[in-house]
Amino acid sequence: MDTKDVAILRVIDGLWETYEWVPVGEIEHRVSSKIDVTKKLRNLEKEKLVLWKPHSFGDEPSVKINERGLDSLAVWDFVKHGVLDDIGHKIGEGKESVIVLGLKDGEKRAIKFHRYYSAEYRKIKKSLAYTSIKWWRTLKGRLLRPVDFPRAKAQVEYRALKKLHGKVSVPEPYGINRHAIVMEFIGDEVPAPLMSKVKNESWMRKEVLDNYEMSLKEGIVHGDLSPFNVMVWNKLYLIDWAQAVPVDFEGADALMKRDKEKFNA
């Protein structure tokens, strides 16, 4: 990917609220006339960063940026802003996200790319819309559309980590871009084990619940806490805050109870 590719991808991404498929003419209009946009788009398609709209008669040629394209733009901007020097291999993959190793000044970082997942969308679109409007205000006045979903989750998780780091044991957040966040890597050669994979001891449950009380004091309910979202290292780390809600959300009490019950065994 070179700077011309990035210029083209930026234009397509910048129009994501206006067009589902961006007409090539709109892109040509917005980038330097020296760039052969159609040729560049053919290459970007080969690299699986954009999709061409299947042609039907009378249609303007149009394109769409795909997941890989958005990931690449986010990484490009993280490097540009000094959050990362380089990226490494995939270290985790869930239905809702992909975690990739990042490097900065020789130290490991974790990059979490949020994904759209329809079953989860149906479940949390109300609480996520509420939280992202309250914490970011960016989505005010309109409903969360599926296309906004990974960005809203990244915003909510980043905001929760920012607010809690230093008070609650969570990975330190370093940056957010579009649907991706960069945070402290927990582990050494490989990620630290999850609490669900190690022998569950009562001091661990207490440590999690003590941390959770601090998070509630900061006004944040995790919403998806379980031993699958606790990493065991020199201390315990509470991770995966994408479903967090403020304590004044109408369903927050039930979520908080459910979170705590997972550690009351």
Ligand X SMILES: Nc1ncnc2c1ncn2[C@@H]1O[C@H](COP(=O)(O)OP(=O)(O)OP(=O)(O)O)[C@@H](O)[C@H]1O
Which amino acid, one-letter code, is at 67?
A: E
Question: How many Cα neighbours within 13 Å face the side chain of 213?
Answer: 5
Write the DSSP assignment of 6-58 as a string of letters.
HHHHHHHHHTTTT-SSEEHHHHHHHS-TTS-HHHHHHHHHHTTSEEEPPP-TT
By CB under 6 A, residue 185 contacts ligand X: yes
Q: In the structure encoding, which two tokens stand for residue 203, read together?
A: 């001091």
**Is 51 or 98 the residue whose CB approaches ligand X more closely?**
98
Q: How far is the CB of 234 from Mg ion (least distance, A)?
A: 21
Q: Is 44 in the site for ligand X (CB under 6 A)?
A: no
Q: What x-and-dash track marks residues 138-177 binding ligand X by CB under 6 A?
A: ---------------------------------x------
> Residue 94 Cβ, how far from Mg ion at the closest point, in Å?
6
H or E segment to which residue 121 belongs: helix 118-136
Query: Is the CA virtual torsion 193, 196, 199, 203 positive or negative?
Result: positive
CB 47 within 8 A of CB 74: no
Which member of 39, 46, 89, 95 binds ligand X (CB under 6 A)?
95
Least separation, in Å, of the C-beta of 228 and Mg ion? 6
Task: Please answer whether residues 216 and 132 qualify as being in contact, where contact means their C-beta atoms are separated by less than 8 angstroms.
Answer: no
Q: Which residues pair with 237 in a beta bridge?
A: 231
What is the x/- site pattern for ligand X, positions 199-238, by CB under 6 A? -----------------------------xx---------
Nearest one of 148, 166, 145, 169 to 222, comparing CA atoms? 169
Tell me: does residue 183 bind ligand X (CB under 6 A): yes
Taking CB under 6 A as the criterion, the residue among 168, 186, 238, 244 binding ligand X is 186
187: contact with ligand X by CB under 6 A: yes
Min dist CB 18 to ligand X, Å, is: 29
**Binding positions for Mg ion, rule: CB under 5 A:** 229, 240
Q: Which residue, chain included where needed, has tokens 């969570």? A: 170
Of 11, 22, 24, 99, which one interacts with ligand X (CB under 6 A)?
Answer: 99
Binding site for ligand X (CB under 6 A): 91-92, 94-97, 99, 110, 112, 171, 183-187, 191, 194, 228-229, 239-240
